Chain A
Amino acid sequence: MERILDVKNLEIDFKTYAGTVHAIRDVDFHLNKGETLAIVGESGSGKSVTVRTLMGLLASNAKIVGGSVDFEGKDIVQMSEKELTHLRGNDIAMIFQDPMTSLDPTMTIGKQVAEPLRLHTKISEKAALAEAVRVLELVGITNAKARLKDYPHQFSGGQRQRIVIAIAIINNPKILIADEPTTALDVTIQAQILELLKEVQEKIDTSIIFITHDLGVVAGIADRVAVMYAGKIIEYGQVDEIFYNAQHPYTWGLLEAMPTLETKSDRLYAIPGTPPNLINPPAGDAFAARNEFALAIDLQQEPPFFQVSPTHAAATWLLDPQAPKVTLPPEIQRRHQIWEEKFANKGVNA
């Protein structure tokens, strides 16, 4: 499969009053052409920081300490501000979480949607507005031509997110980054926006990086999933591998903590404790303190990635041949059973 983006050994620090926060600690991942990669993890795990790096949008107190981001043969980390300006909103575009704050309230939506086109190409205002109408119709804004002169407050939350998507796709970007694009929306509107993203992806043939903490959303939209914890990716794989054959105890915890509509038991599983402080990241596996399956070695030495299949790997000592066999939580057993029945024998992943 052709890779459109390759992130290698990315390390990012933030200078704060309390000390240096090691927000991203050696992150490796890639994005295949035409796929949707979901990055999941809780607040502070580094998922937003990671994708902001891809667009050169880091805060002023952030420093890329090491690593590279290869996009079409060029390293984004080394790019000049001029090169980044050319990249942003053109080759790589972003859809933000809150459609209330990511639109300019004082600018007509026609101008806002046409803006990336006017910035990146030599095009007359008239032609750009005509193009804006086309994209707005593509994202499902009815009567788009008549609404070009309307302002954001005249649209509902769902419509605003559609407009934000229109702005992101007007230049047919090669990569679309969606940072929790549906978190602020109601579930019925969320369903519409997710459907729209799938349609748009097909129509403009783009690759998507989707950030969320909602595993339900991931199950519906992702081809592959990367799970982040404390500034690291700790497990990645195809969507079925993550949901039915997860290997890292943190991924188990996330899956267990989601109440499904079938959840009957009296208590909900909760991952105990809170994520570690990344000013002084713990030695060994950062999740060890919250992990009921932690081994002695987890506290001393960081686990390497163990390959589960050609597309699936997890950084946990439990996959080491010497590790003791553990009894999986019931919910994970149920999922692994689905894996055995449905996927394991299909020969794709021996």
Chain B
Amino acid sequence: MSEPEVLLSIRNLVQTFNPGKRNEVKAIQDISFDIYKGETLGLVGESGSGKTTTGRSLIRLYQPTSGEIMYAGNDIAKLKHGSKAMLDFRRKVQMIFQDPYASLDPRMKVQDIIAEGIDVHHLAKSEQDREQQVQALLEEVGLNASHATRYPHEFSGGQRQRIGIARALAVQPEFIIADEPISALDVSIQAQVVNLLKDIQDRQGLTYLFIAHDLSMVKYISDRIAVMHYGRLVELASADEVYNHPLHPYTQSLLSAIPVPDPSLERHRKPIAYSAAEAEDDGKQRDLVEVYPGHFVFASEDEVAGYQNAAKESHGTQSVSQEQ
């Protein structure tokens, strides 16, 4: 197989809020990773782990403190606001937000919400073209053309999230950051939205960064998964690797805490406790190290051998299913 093409390359990204002040927060502490063209990268972690901040820094909603975000040869971190390159970047990268109630303007009609990006980027040749584009987008996300003249309050949560998706698609993006797009929805509706996102990706060849704390949904939609904790990436590997052979103790703890809809299994499930003091905060220098093909763990030099052995052992017990 050919090498996957890198779409977005993040190097040593640091995001500090209120630097130098008493309320300084180091939200992202030096992370580096690539996002490949056409893949879905899942980004998981608990509240405060920095996953949302990462998504927002990538799209330059925040000004990164230091580090590089390379997208199509440009360093996004250095683009000037209002520049042509910035406008172009903002068209290629779109965001879907968590709360379908708060992310749609209640005073705007659905057609104007969806077409706002089309207007900003002058993507419609005429009023009629604009209308046609909106209708095609509504269809793409499984809504009716007749929905165009309604207001957000007339829709259910799942339908609103579809409107949010149509708005993101309106400017023909290459890359979509979906920040917990389903956590506010009911289980039965979550599946509809996830299936829709997958279908659209298949049709349009989009790349996704899927941010979530629900690990079962993330596994289902992601090709690779990055696990974040305290503003660092602690593990990065293919979805199957992360779930079947988790190496970092934080990932193991996180996976062990997921309740499964199976009472017999639930009766025996014992969550594993995690202590950051031992695996992150003991003062040792740590980096993301590839300890098994395609499988990266946040480790210090003296821990690498241990992780390599653990990976081999874990793979030895099950048939190896490499997806690289």
To the question of whether A and B form a pair in one complex, the answer is yes
- Residues on A lying within 8 angstroms of B by beta carbon are 42-43, 157, 186-192, 194-195, 213-220, 239-240, 243-244, 253-255, 257-261, 263, 266-272, 274, 338, 342
- Which chain A residues lie closer than 8 Å to B274 at the CB level? 188
**Option from A214, A253, A254, A270 in Cβ contact (under 8 Å) with B259:** A214
Q: Is the interface of B mostly helix, strand, loop or mixed?
A: helix
A261 touching B216 in the complex, CB below 8 Å, given contacts A254-B188, A268-B195: yes
27 residue pairs A–B, Cβ–Cβ below 8 Å:
A42-B186, A187-B213, A187-B214, A191-B257, A191-B259, A194-B259, A216-B216, A220-B259, A240-B264, A257-B188, A258-B216, A259-B216, A259-B217, A259-B220, A260-B262, A261-B216, A261-B219, A261-B243, A261-B255, A261-B260, A263-B216, A269-B191, A270-B191, A270-B192, A270-B195, A274-B189, A338-B264
**Option from A187, A189, A270 in Cβ contact (under 8 Å) with B215:** A187
- Which chain A residues lie closer than 8 Å to B158 at the CB level? 274
Determine whether B156 belongs to the interface, using a CB cutoff of 8 Å to chain A: yes
A152 to chain B, nearest CB (A): 16
**Option from B156, B253, B261 in Cβ contact (under 8 Å) with A255:** B261
When the two chains form their complex, are residues B195 and A239 in contact, meaning their CB atoms are under 8 A apart? no
Name the CB-closest residue of B to A194: B259
- Which chain B residues lie closer than 8 Å to A220 at the CB level? 259, 263, 266-267, 269
When the two chains form their complex, are residues A258 and B261 in contact, meaning their CB atoms are under 8 A apart? yes
When the two chains form their complex, are residues B47 and A213 in contact, meaning their CB atoms are under 8 A apart? no
A267 touching B47 in the complex, CB below 8 Å, given contacts A43-B186, A214-B187, A243-B262: no
* Contact mask for chain B residues 77-88; partner A; CB cutoff 8 A; 1 contact, 0 none: 000000000000
Q: How many Å lie between the Cα of A259 and that of B265 in the bound state?
A: 15
- Which chain B residues lie closer than 8 Å to A187 at the CB level? 46, 213-215, 254, 257-259
When the two chains form their complex, are residues B243 and A219 in contact, meaning their CB atoms are under 8 A apart? no
Name the CB-closest residue of B to A335: B262
Name the CB-closest residue of A to B157: A43
When the two chains form their complex, are residues A254 and B187 in contact, meaning their CB atoms are under 8 A apart? yes
B30 to chain A, nearest CB (A): 23
Q: Is the interface of A mostly helix, strand, loop or mixed?
A: helix
When the two chains form their complex, are residues B264 and A186 in contact, meaning their CB atoms are under 8 A apart? no
Q: How many Å lie between the Cα of A33 and that of B76 in the bound state?
A: 61
Name the CB-closest residue of B to A267: B195
When the two chains form their complex, are residues B47 and A257 in contact, meaning their CB atoms are under 8 A apart? no
Determine whether B198 belongs to the interface, using a CB cutoff of 8 Å to chain A: yes
State the interface size on chain B (CB cutoff 8 A): 41
Q: How many Å lie between the Cα of A244 and that of B266 in the bound state?
A: 13
* Contact mask for chain B residues 148-166; partner A; CB cutoff 8 A; 1 contact, 0 none: 0000000011110000000
When the two chains form their complex, are residues A188 and B46 in contact, meaning their CB atoms are under 8 A apart? yes
Determine whether B194 belongs to the interface, using a CB cutoff of 8 Å to chain A: yes
- Which chain A residues lie closer than 8 Å to B271 at the CB level? 188, 191-192, 195
- Which chain A residues lie closer than 8 Å to B263 at the CB level? 219-220, 239-240, 243-244
**Option from A186, A215, A261, A268 in Cβ contact (under 8 Å) with B46:** A186
A159 to chain B, nearest CB (A): 13
